[in-house]
Amino acid sequence: MSKLNITGVKPGSTSLKLTAGKITKTVPITVKSRNLLSYGPASGNGLTATVNTDGSLHVTGTATGQWRGVVWTFPCPVQGTVKLSGTSIAGLSFNIKCLDAKGQQLGDQMNLGNSVMAIPAGTVSLFLNVISTEATPTAKVGDLRIQLESGTTAHDWMRPGGF
């Protein structure tokens, strides 16, 4: 029996047709993004985020205060160790918190300063937060490419699969 390895090039769905003698089998294949985040357009606390065609976030506005901004909560797609990476906009930061079934934070938040962490046991959802770091927030316009992926190595940014 021989082994077949397939490497996905980009997210999407296709099928693989295998033939051995008179037997043919079609196998569906789905390539998912390694970026585990899930977000869509959102606004809050003076900031508005839209999703660019490449999947990055376009952020505009002036936050209503320091540590305030726009948030997303979505089901946690993995367990184990994850790596957070991305680009930023001066005066804005992003972090991810792990939440239990009651919406309570588990463990420390992930940010670029502690970008490799284990997802705590009991995590059911993730909370993505884009916030102002300025004591007196100023107007912002820019794009963020935030990536959360399994493992300890940051790869080139890839659009999230879930938005």
pLDDT in tens, 86-106: 998 999 999 999 999 999 999
Instruction: Provide the phi-psi class of 94: left if phi over 0, else alpha when psi is between -120 and 50, else beta.
Output: beta
pLDDT (mean) for 131-158: 95
Look at residue 53 in the predicted model and tell me its pLDDT. Answer: 94
Chain-centroid distance of CA 106 in Å reads 18
Give the residue-averaged pLDDT of 125-154: 96
Handedness of CA 131, 94, 122, 42 (dihedral sign): positive
Q: If you average pLDDT over every residue of the chain, what do you get?
A: 90
Q: Could you report the per-residue pLDDT of 62-83, keeping only the tens digit for each?
A: 999 999 999 999 999 999 999 9
pLDDT tens readout for residues 112-127: 878 899 999 999 999 9
Residue percentage of the chain with pLDDT more than 90: 70
Secondary structure of 14-26 as H, E, C letters: EEEEEEECCEEEE
